[in-house]
Amino acid sequence: MTSPFTQAIGIDANWPPDVGQRIAFNSSGAVRNGFIKQVRWGLVWRDFVLDDGRVIPEHKVIGCPEPPVWRNAKEVSQEEREAAEDRLVTMSQAGLDPRDREQSFWAELNQYLAYTYLRFKDTGLEKPGLE
């Protein structure tokens, strides 16, 4: 059943895909696919965790609504932000490689960077030196 929210922004009842569904996504210039193990909201967008451990951001999934639905940075609680920071510290201390673009560290890092950008972009402060 489609909710009023999804109707208002033009998302049909089939989005997001369910756990167990096969999705196709863009990766390094090619279309790849996998089966969804988990769908989770990050600080900004949904991530699809595949059964092989890859983490695919919602906006890379073929069939994602245009434009993708992102959370407003003001909706993110301090607890969520701190939990994200703790996960990043833990992954860093464990020696994980943040450059592996389909793994959790990259996904967490990108969510945090996007959240930080949106948080400060929305402050309304003028940029120094631009007059």
- Per-residue pLDDT tens over the stretch 56-79: 999 999 999 988 889 999 999 999
Which pLDDT band, with edges at 50, 70 and 90, does 28 fall under?
confident
Residue 111 has which token pair?
Answer: 């969510």
Does 113 have pLDDT greater than 60? yes
Inter-residue contact 9 to 19 (CB < 8 Å): no
CA distances 70 to 35, 45, 58, 73, 96, Å, are 23, 5, 10, 9, 27
Which pLDDT band, with edges at 50, 70 and 90, does 6 fall under?
very low
Half-sphere exposure of 127 (CA within 13 A, CB side): 4
Task: State what percent of residues in the chain have pLDDT above 90.
Answer: 70
Q: Domain residue spans in the chain? A: 4-121
pTM equals 0.79
Beta bridge partners of 46: 41
For residue 94, the SS3 value is coil
CA distances 10 to 4, 93, 116, Å, are 10, 42, 27
Residue 59: other Cβ atoms inside 10 A: 17
Over range 92-97, report the average pLDDT: 94
Q: Of 35-39, 48-52, 105-109, 125-129, where does mean pLDDT reach its minimum?
A: 125-129
Of 75, 68, 78, the closest CA to residue 45 belongs to 68
pLDDT at 129: 53
Residue 9 has which token pair?
Answer: 């922004």
Inter-residue contact 70 to 11 (CB < 8 Å): no
Over range 17-40, report the average pLDDT: 95
